[in-house]
Structure 1
Amino acid sequence: MGKIDLHSIAGPGVLIAVVCLWCYYRKTESHRRKESRHRITLYTYPNYRSMRCIWLATELGIDNNIKMIEMDPHDKRKCESYKTAVHPHCTIPALVLEDGNTIIESGAICLYMADFHKSLVPETQWIADYYNWIVYACSTLDDMMETIYLQWYLTDSEDQNEQLVKRMTDKFQVFADYFNNYLKGKSFICGDKFTAADCIMGYNIWWASGMREGCLIDQYPEIISYLSRLQSRYAFQNTFPS
């Protein structure tokens, strides 16, 4: 059978319609495939603790499979619907799973992603350190750093609570001494292996390095070296502002 000449059986109007339908199909099919990849949704905001989750997702190679929604917690109108549907405290981050369940703590989100994908988890001998530093970062360290940040950057100088700042910075130095000693002889929290714990604690170290020219950590060579190793990673560079 010879080659069919569409021009011989259809006018130009029909040909245009066929081309339009084909383009529409390709567009909708591409959108469908994209949506099918986005089975979970991560609510983020620049420089917030959601950076931990974005960094880890990038390290895992699943960032393109997550629907990222930037949610400004300072937007009162958006916050009301967000509180009702996603996060009762209107804070960031939150991860909404395919089945509708929601994880609302950055540490828990990172633990879930690493465990679910069975990647960036520690060897058996490092499990205790892995959980210890993750929970420490998300509870003790986050709290003291947030207090310092609020006083230094979001409180007028005449209203700053100097006693509170000193108490929190002294507490941070206790941490820095402890963590600096812990890192000796190690590349990462779990020895030579990079894990989800480094995304969680690494966020805090990055945060500290950006406050008052890094004065909180500049006297701790092991921490500075650790931060340098983190900064050299492709996923870090694609997550954090330079």
Structure 2
Amino acid sequence: MSNIVFYTNPMSRGQTIRWMLEEVGEPYETHILDYAEKMKAPDYLAINPMGKVPAIVHEGKVVTECAAICAYLADAFPAAGLAPRPHERADYYRWMFFAAGPVEASVTNRAAGFTVEPGRERMFGYGTYDLTMDVLEGAVSGRDYICGTRFTAADIYVGSQIDWGLMFGSMPDRPAFATYVERLRQRPAYQRAKQIDNALIAKMQPPAG
């Protein structure tokens, strides 16, 4: 019986955590929540008062926020080999939380039509969208993975951001991004996770005609 409960919607950032869970390889129980009702229902708000997914419950403890869930699961299940080794910690934490902070903020602000006015860059943790994309490009250039030659949970989180960004046009289609993401898309756990979520999305679509 699983001791991981996963709350998600296949059309959400829950796809990142689905991939992480498939990489971990432990059994998990999935609860699919719709945006209109179940995410705002009292029983789920008791788990995540933000009323959003994803969230996990592991051994009675709630973890929310994608980067935190990835880091938590990597530590909770060390046999999966997704946590950083001592010499990898600097790159692991730096780039995972760079993606959770500056990348997430710059991309979502831009998608919402908000741009930083010249001279006010210091008010925002990412400065400008273009600067953030340049720095992110540098992080994935000249190496196979975020920490060098070994795949870790940081690649799941950073890679999901870039994968999503290229798919929906919210990030520039740069060769370094495409090369990095294509490497990640070959992973069996990535492919399993996408197959599961794509099947769920297909079931949620209204019948044709």
What TM-score bracket applies, with the shorter chain setting the length? Answer: 0.7 to 0.9
Among 71, 88, 112, the alignment partner of 1:126 is 88
Match of 1:121, as an amino acid? A
Other-structure match for 2:72: 112
Contact 1:217 1:224 in 2 (8 A): no
Asked whether 1:56 is paired with 2:28, we answer no
Structure-1-length-normalised TM-score: 0.69
8 A Cα contact 1:206 1:227, kept in partner? yes
- Describe the superposition over 1:166-215 as per-residue Cα deviations: whole angstroms up to 9, x where unpaired: 76999332122112223332100010100000010111101111223x6x
Distance, in Å, in 1 between the alignment partners of 2:43 and 2:99 is 26
In the TM superposition, what is the alpha-carbon distance from 1:232 to its structure 2 partner? 1.2
Once the two structures are TM-superposed, the CA of residue 44 in structure 1 deviates from its matched residue by 0.8
Q: Which has the higher contact order (CA 8 A, sep 6+)?
A: 2
Q: CA RMSD in A?
A: 2.4
Instruction: Indicate yes or no: 2:50 matched with 1:89.
Output: yes
Would the alpha carbon gap of residues 47 and 199 (structure 1) be closer, same or farther in structure 2, given more than 3 Å must change?
A: farther
| Structure holding more helix per residue | 1
Counterpart position of 1:185: 142
Q: Which runs of 4+ in 1 moved over 4 A?
A: 165-170
User: How far apart, CA to CA, are the structure 1 residues paired with 2:138 and 2:66?
Assistant: 26
State yes or no: 1:140 paired with 2:140.
Answer: no
Query: Shift of the alpha carbon at 1:83?
Result: 4.2
2:165 is aligned to 208
Indicate yes or no: 2:176 matched with 1:222. yes
Rounded to whole Å, the distance in 2 between the matches of 1:121 and 1:86 is: 26
Structure 1 pair 227–78 and aligned structure 2 pair: CA distance change class (3 A): closer
Whole-angstrom CA distance in 2 between matches of 1:128 and 1:53: 22
2:202 paired residue number: none
Native 8 Å contact 1:82 1:90 kept in 2: no
- 2:39–2:53: 8 Å Cα contact kept in structure 1? no
* Conserved 8 A contact 2:106-2:132: no
> Can you give the 5+ residue segments of structure 1 that lack an aligned partner in the other structure?
1-36, 152-160
| Higher Cα Rg, which structure | 1
TM-score of the pair, normalised by structure 2: 0.80
